Amino acid sequence: MSLELNEEYMKDEGAFFPLPQPDQIPEREREDAMGAYLMMFAAVAVALPLPVINLIAAIIYYFVNRTKSRFIHFHSLQSLLSQLPTTLMNWGLLYWSLRIWFFNSLEFDDYYKGYLLTTILANLLYLIFSILAAVQARKGRMYYFIFFGKLSYQLVFSRSSSIKYKGESAVLYENKPPL
């Protein structure tokens, strides 16, 4: 999907839908948006130390809730996209650790210690920012992660988005013949 729109279209109707204000968002939508960030605790809930459980839970949550509203879609997408790097880092750490502990094919060297420290730091940052985003979503506010917030905003609130949300008019665009 291309996010580039021609300038004439942007002047006439605006390139993005307006952001909902906190008092316009129903309580249920706020709770659903907050729930997107709580998917990081899915592995704890099932008592499995596998990093992919969180990602699977976030993917399922995203596809179940993305058509409810733009607010929920934004927070679900941002949560899903922000879990990708930490999940990949956690898988890398798990793979490296298993090779050290069970197969003795790698050493417990400074590279491993550095990667371990980096992964722990990335997970702590992700935890802190996800909790902040969950609190803001519960209040009905938008909270943007550094890279993933802008990307999520552009994909969800762009007028070129093709997803139809519950409660929005069915026809957002009209296909007109050329002049």
**Residue 85, domain extent:** 21-157
73 touches 167 (CB < 8 A): no
Tell me the two tokens of residue 41.
Answer: 């605790």
* Distances, alpha carbon 63 to alpha carbons 60, 96, 104, 118, in Å: 5, 32, 41, 31
pLDDT higher than threshold 70 for residue 54: yes
| pLDDT value, residue 44 | 67
Instruction: Evaluate whether residue 111 is within a structural domain.
Output: yes
| pLDDT value, residue 49 | 60
Instruction: Evaluate whether residue 6 is within a structural domain.
Output: no
Least reliable range by pLDDT among 2-16, 29-43, 60-74, 135-149: 2-16
pLDDT higher than threshold 80 for residue 168: no
Tell me the two tokens of residue 59.
Answer: 């993917």
Instruction: Evaluate whether residue 7 is within a structural domain.
Output: no
Instruction: Kindly tell me the sign of the dihedral angle through the C-alpha atoms of 163, 38, 125, 113.
Output: negative
Instruction: Compute the average pLDDT of residues 14-30.
Output: 90
Phi-psi label, residue 174: left if phi above 0, alpha if psi -120 to 50, beta otherwise? beta
Residue 16's DSSP bridge partners are 158
Instruction: Evaluate whether residue 95 is within a structural domain.
Output: yes
Instruction: Compute the average pLDDT of residues 85-113.
Output: 86
Residues with Cβ within 8 Å of residue 7, at least 6 apart in sequence: none
Residue 158's DSSP bridge partners are 16
> How far apart are alpha carbons 139 and 123 in whole angstroms?
24
Better-scored residue on pLDDT, 71 or 104: 71
Instruction: Evaluate whether residue 93 is within a structural domain.
Output: yes
93 touches 119 (CB < 8 A): yes
Instruction: Evaluate whether residue 3 is within a structural domain.
Output: no
pLDDT higher than threshold 60 for residue 173: no
The CB-side HSE value for 11 (13 A sphere, CA atoms) comes to 3
Domain count, the chain: 1
> How far apart are alpha carbons 82 and 84 in whole angstroms?
6
Instruction: Evaluate whether residue 9 is within a structural domain.
Output: no
The closest alpha carbon to 2, from 162, 171, 174, belongs to: 162
| pLDDT value, residue 36 | 93
pLDDT higher than threshold 50 for residue 59: yes
Instruction: Evaluate whether residue 133 is within a structural domain.
Output: yes
58 touches 83 (CB < 8 A): yes
pLDDT higher than threshold 50 for residue 11: no
| pLDDT value, residue 159 | 86
Q: Where are the alpha helices (DSSP H) in 7-69?
A: 7-13, 27-37, 42-45, 52-65
